[in-house]
A and B are shown apart, each in its own frame.
Chain A
């Protein structure tokens, strides 16, 4: 019976998706045409995807960042409250893993920062760069299993970057007339140079820091979730 309901559900979902197929393709409405024709003139960004994500659809991006924040908060809340679970002594990392991870840590952080600083020029941006930074932190956590991330620093990074995102949007509202507007506040600069795109690089760097801090905090809480007594005291 369960399987029957499941297959019917999948079939109905498939029908819905199939009816969306004619909407795909180059004639997907006037908005995409507008973005491709006016994106460069409006924002001076070499990567048009970034112009859409941060400027035209910046409000949605704020929502995505908030969703990530809420899910990480939820995971932290659930996992921190498990008292009295058996704590397995983690195996010490092998020499191979330890050396490789220590060698990779710094290049990964720099690469992640490069991705979100150059979000308006090359593919990638805040989310991708933040994820790469978080995988660098993962390397660190794999080697030093008994160490914790500094929670105060993580909280401040997250809060300040999120606050900065909203503040930038509100400044755009005050100066340019709409939330996250890119008009009039900062010079748009020359196309395809690092200092171009007005507010877009600033917002994407903030998003990168926020995503990196959140995903790192999530990894940290996953690795240390079997909180025994002295760990709990250490973090409080």
Chain B
């Protein structure tokens, strides 16, 4: 059962990463990248690395996503 969840999680990471690269909308790309990070932190936890999982969730999924979103908006303001 747990192994099945792991496979689903890996599939989500793959789809989210490819989607983040191929998406035309920058905001969607950033959100998909955040999703990949968040789901990857579950994998770290499953592999017995809770410290890394916390870093990935706090920095990879939360702060990086926010900083990218703010940067996207700021650059759009300048372009307009």
Contact = CB atoms under 8 A, between A and B. Distances in A.
Contact of B54 (A86, A123, A134, A222): A123
A219 interface: yes
B47 to A, nearest CB: 11
A178 to B, nearest CB: 24
Interface stretch (A2-10, A124-132, A154-162, A189-197): A124-132
Interface residues on A, range: 20 to 34
Contacts, number: 48
A218 interface: yes
Contacts of A222: 67, 70-71, 74
B78 interface: yes
Interface of A: 47, 49, 85-86, 88, 115, 123-125, 127-128, 131-132, 134-135, 138, 215, 218-219, 222-223, 225-226
Interface residues on B, range: 10 to 19
Given A86-B78, A123-B50, A124-B51, A219 B67 contact: yes
B27 interface: no
B55 interface: yes
Most-contacted residue by chain A among B50, B54, B67 (CB, 10 A): B54
Nearest to A115: B54
B55 A131 contact: yes
B62 A226 contact: no
